[in-house]
Structure 1
Amino acid sequence: MIGFMKEFENCNVLVAGASRGIGKGIATAFAEAGASVWLGARKEATLERAADEIEKISGTRPDIVARDFSNSDASDLIDGLPALDVLVVNYGDTDTAPGFDTSDEAWGRLLTANLTGPARLSRHVARGMAERGHGSILFIGSICGREALGAPIGYNVGKAGLRALSKTMAHELGPTGVRVNLIQPGNVLFDGGRWDDKLKAHPALADSVLKAVPLRRFGTPDDIAQAALFLSSFRASFITGAELVIDGGQTVGF
């Protein structure tokens, strides 16, 4: 964290999807770097716990925004926040069985969570950033948006759409001074996450999974957080429309 110490002082950052894992890691990194941070997610109690943990690490307690950001009314809440310098969109949903023959209900829910919701929120925030002439929007996608890796089809399609959304917004917002980028994580392990659950149920699974990863390990939330800090910082002021894959080399041979 030394490289970014206090680099984000006087910056307002909203991390949507920040109650655990990657989102909480990103929010922690911004708080340590001096930013004023808002944590967004659905469950207030979970956000309060995350805020407690971040305060212990950074010395600063973030504010919380308890709302389902995939809903249309979530954008209205943003109007009550200070002007945002950085928006990190980290939420999504994989909660359905893999397979092509998914229900219309599951399909619609996954697309709303992984694409329509992020598009709605980012467009709303982008308007204010464009008026002020600066800002950074960072989407957290998945390598499943690049390759077919066994996740539910609605999730894959949603994340692929997020990739197109990021590039298109970067192109359209560039003249206003607003930058838009995308991080595509691979297998990230954290307490209570999908891989944590899978490995507790099937410990031997780790060996087979990591055989496909040249660096032979799972990613950590901090691996993603450090990249998020860079892409949101002045050091990346000439970077927009970029797609950074952080997967230990898993998709390098695709």
Structure 2
Amino acid sequence: MDLGLKGRRVLITGGTKGIGRHCAEIFADEGAHVAICARDADAVKASTDALKAKGVTAYGEAVDVADKAALETWVTDAAGALGGIDMVVANVSALAVADDEAAWEAGFAVDMMHSVRLVNAAMPWLEKSDAASITLISSVSGREIDFTRPAYGAFKAALVHYAQGQAMKLAPQGIRANTVSPGNTYFEGGIWQSIEQNNPELFAEAMSLNPMGRMAGPEEIARGVVFLASPASAFTTGTNLVIDGALTKGVQL
């Protein structure tokens, strides 16, 4: 299937590892030009160089997405480097799963406000695109109460609500907004590898809840993100795509 991504311009936050890195690679493989950001400057450079090697324009900056000014500057610089913006993917999470005020503050600043600010900063370019889309990475923790409560799950649920509202508001302009809710996703340097190494009891419990007997690979989530963001999914907006291997038990109506 031709996803219609050749020559399109995509911004991805947290594009150096895990789901974000695989999204960037798949977009580039489909011929899209890609801008990424993350906090680790060396990882950003290595990832950007790898994307350029695929024959597309790639741009990267070291950015703390909780820093409003830095995030907005990256969006402007990325739009200049790519010649515009067609799609944004808000992927970064604070992964704040503790039950204290610091977790609430981190989740608000990173998960929630970085997504809102990314959308707002990119809007002048999205309004000019004929294939504009917004894709926010939520989580199945936003659908069910699990060990990540309360802050992490609350903000992941809020992202779905925010995207739904944006979908309704922006539909007349042809700008789509959706969320993707991954289940347990395992990759090197990710939260589940850390849990496996440091809390094997919790890891074993989580594995036992996965009906497929395994966790997702980041590329399996990324494929859904890229399709949802692409022109091939042009009539899909206001949707929360759950990719969890039947982990969650709630019926999404």
Is the structural similarity TM-score above 0.5?
A: yes
Contact 1:51 1:61 survives alignment (8 Å): no
Contact 2:86 2:125 survives alignment (8 Å): no
Return the offset for 1:79.
2.1
Return the offset for 1:222.
0.8
Return the offset for 1:22.
0.7
User: 1:68 is aligned with what amino acid?
Assistant: D
Return the offset for 1:17.
1.2
Q: Name the CA shift for 1:96/1:248 in 2 (closer, same or farther; >3 Å).
A: closer
Give secondary structure in 2 for the equivalent of 1:68: coil
Match of 2:215 among 199, 215, 218: 218
Return the offset for 1:154.
1.8
Match of 1:69 among 62, 65, 83: 65
Return the offset for 1:188.
0.3
Q: 1:97-136 residue pairs with structure 2 within 5 A?
A: 97=98, 99=99, 102-103=100-101, 105-136=102-133
Aligned to 1:88: 89
Q: Name the CA shift for 1:207/1:155 in 2 (closer, same or farther; >3 Å).
A: closer
Give secondary structure in 1 for the equivalent of 2:172: helix
Return the offset for 1:130.
2.1
Give secondary structure in 2 for the equivalent of 1:117: helix
Return the offset for 1:252.
2.6
Return the offset for 1:35.
0.7
Contact 1:130 1:173 survives alignment (8 Å): no
Q: Percent identity?
A: 28
Match of 1:245 among 216, 219, 242: 242
Q: Does 1:78 align with 2:75?
A: yes
Return the offset for 1:146.
1.4
Return the offset for 1:48.
1.6
Q: 1:35-46 residue pairs with structure 2 within 5 A?
A: 35-46=32-43
User: 1:64 is aligned with what amino acid?
Assistant: G
Return the offset for 1:202.
4.8
Q: Does 1:142 align with 2:122?
A: no
User: 1:66 is aligned with what amino acid?
Assistant: A
Aligned to 1:164: 161
Q: Name the CA shift for 1:207/1:157 in 2 (closer, same or farther; >3 Å).
A: closer
- CA deviation vs aligned residue, 1:40-85 (integer Å, no higher than 9, x gap): 11221121222344456x4557321221222221213322323111
- Deviates most, 150-159 or 140-149: 150-159
Aligned to 1:12: 9
Contact 1:134 1:176 survives alignment (8 Å): no
TM-score norm. by structure 2 comes to 0.89
User: 2:72 is aligned with what amino acid?
Assistant: S
User: 1:125 is aligned with what amino acid?
Assistant: A
Q: 1:163-242 residue pairs with structure 2 within 5 A?
A: 163-202=160-199, 206-242=203-239
In the alignment, the residues of structure 2 paired with residue 67 and residue 141 of structure 1 have an alpha-carbon distance, to the nearest angstrom, of: 21
User: 1:83 is aligned with what amino acid?
Assistant: G
Return the offset for 1:211.
2.3
Contact 1:70 1:118 survives alignment (8 Å): no
In the alignment, the residues of structure 2 paired with residue 43 and residue 199 of structure 1 have an alpha-carbon distance, to the nearest angstrom, of: 23
- What do you get for the CA RMSD once the two structures are aligned? 2.1
In the alignment, the residues of structure 2 paired with residue 36 and residue 178 of structure 1 have an alpha-carbon distance, to the nearest angstrom, of: 19
Contact 2:87 2:126 survives alignment (8 Å): no
Give secondary structure in 2 for the equivalent of 1:240: coil
Return the offset for 1:120.
1.4
In the alignment, the residues of structure 2 paired with residue 61 and residue 199 of structure 1 have an alpha-carbon distance, to the nearest angstrom, of: 37
- CA deviation vs aligned residue, 1:1-48 (integer Å, no higher than 9, x gap): xx458x421111111111111100110110111111111112211212
Give secondary structure in 2 for the equivalent of 1:65: strand
Gaps of at least 5 residues in structure 1 are none
In the alignment, the residues of structure 2 paired with residue 201 and residue 78 of structure 1 have an alpha-carbon distance, to the nearest angstrom, of: 36
- Deviates most, 163-172 or 129-138: 129-138
Q: Name the CA shift for 1:233/1:132 in 2 (closer, same or farther; >3 Å).
A: closer
Return the offset for 1:126.
2.4
Give secondary structure in 2 for the equivalent of 1:175: helix
In the alignment, the residues of structure 1 paired with residue 55 and residue 205 of structure 2 have an alpha-carbon distance, to the nearest angstrom, of: 40
